[in-house]
């Protein structure tokens, strides 16, 4: 028996891979964190497959599900299963039971946010969601490597509390990049300091990825002139690598050039 974890787009449906579509078509059943959201995806691509809910509240049914079907595809709400969602628990169960497990490469939110942040990418720590209690947040932060860039996920109703905790730990002038609604219509990538982030995001909406610079790093502010230049070059027909090359040749830092070419 075989379990395949299938990454799904975090926003733009064009981010699905051909391999992911093939696996979804070949599966006996698609287990998913939310049958409604996965149903929309399957319908969009003309895939008619039965779906079964399998989230943190129904994971107890996983063993019976895997015994019933020979080939199961698993999707979460968006992104790669197993990253801050029930997919990791499902993989552990399947491996204990001796099933074959395959994980497809595909979309995830923290990688584009990290690369586009302008902050160091050679060494980073992905922490997922911080604990909700302030004392636990500080304890967790104190155990993280101070010389690594820190990547976090956060929900809108908790964003300001987390930004405040980070400002208290790192200092208000510490650099951060805030990515919101990546690959969606209202995508935003903001760069500045933790204090400025608190002022900027007074009424947060959408899903967030926070990229916090290592201790000792300096903020990478937005450069409006670079954004305008990218728009002009795009209007001339440049895109992808050609656009990145033109921006770098114009003096735009490579990380920012990549971000402007692919995320704006």
In the chain, the percentage of residues whose pLDDT exceeds 90 is 54
Asked if 89 and 180 sit in the same domain, the reply is no
Does residue 16 share a domain with residue 61? yes
Pairing, β 51-53 against β 29-32: parallel
Average pLDDT, the chain: 88
Q: Is residue 218 part of a domain?
A: no
Give the angle 55-59-64 at the CA atoms, nearest 5°: 130
10: containing domain = 2-103
- Looking at the fold, whether 6 and 90 belong to one and the same domain comes out as yes
Cβ–Cβ contacts within 10 Å for residue 232, how many? 11
**Vertex 162: Cα angle to 158 and 167 (nearest 5):** 150
d(CA 70, CA 49): 14
What stretch of H or E contains 37? helix 35-44
The helix/strand/coil state of 43 is helix
pLDDT tens per residue, range 136-153? 988 899 888 788 999 999
Q: What is the CATH number of the domain that holds 183?
A: 3.30.950.10
pLDDT tens for 164-187 read 999 999 999 999 999 999 998 888
Q: Which of 71, 88, 103 is the last residue of a domain?
A: 103
- Within a domain: 112: no
The verdict on 17 and 37 lying in the same domain is yes
pTM: 0.77
Helices 240-249 and 254-263, axial angle in degrees (round to 10): 140
């Amino acid at each position: 028996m075989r379990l395949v974890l299938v990454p799904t787009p975090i926003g733009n449906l064009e981010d699905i891979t051909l391999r992911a579509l093939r696996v979804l078509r070949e599966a006996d059943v698609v287990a998913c964190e939310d049958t409604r959201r996965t149903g929309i995806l399957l319908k969009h691509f003309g895939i008619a497959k039965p779906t079964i809910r399998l989230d943190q509240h129904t994971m107890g049914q996983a063993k019976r599900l895997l015994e019933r079907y020979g080939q199961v595809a698993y999707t979460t709400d968006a992104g790669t299963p197993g990253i801050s969602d029930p997919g990791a628990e499902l993989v552990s169960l399947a491996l204990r039971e001796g099933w074959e497990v395959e994980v497809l490469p595909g979309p995830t939110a923290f990688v584009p946010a990290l690369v586009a942040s302008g902050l160091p990418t050679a060494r980073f720590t992905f922490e997922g969601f911080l604990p909700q209690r302030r004392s636990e947040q500080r304890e967790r932060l104190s155990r993280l490597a101070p010389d690594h860039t820190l990547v976090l996920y956060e929900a809108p109703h908790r964003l300001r509390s987390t930004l405040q905790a980070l400002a208290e730990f790192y200092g208000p002038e510490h650099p951060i990049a805030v990515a919101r609604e990546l690959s969606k219509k209202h995508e935003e990538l903001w760069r500045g300091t933790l204090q400025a982030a608190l002022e900027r995001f007074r009424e947060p909406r959408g899903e967030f990825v926070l990229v916090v610079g290592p201790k000792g790093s300096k903020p990478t502010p937005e450069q409006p002139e670079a954004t305008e230049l990218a728009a002009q070059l795009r209007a001339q027909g440049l895109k992808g690598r050609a656009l990145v090359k033109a921006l770098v040749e114009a003096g735009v830092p490579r990380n920012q050039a990549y971000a402007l070419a692919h995320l704006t």
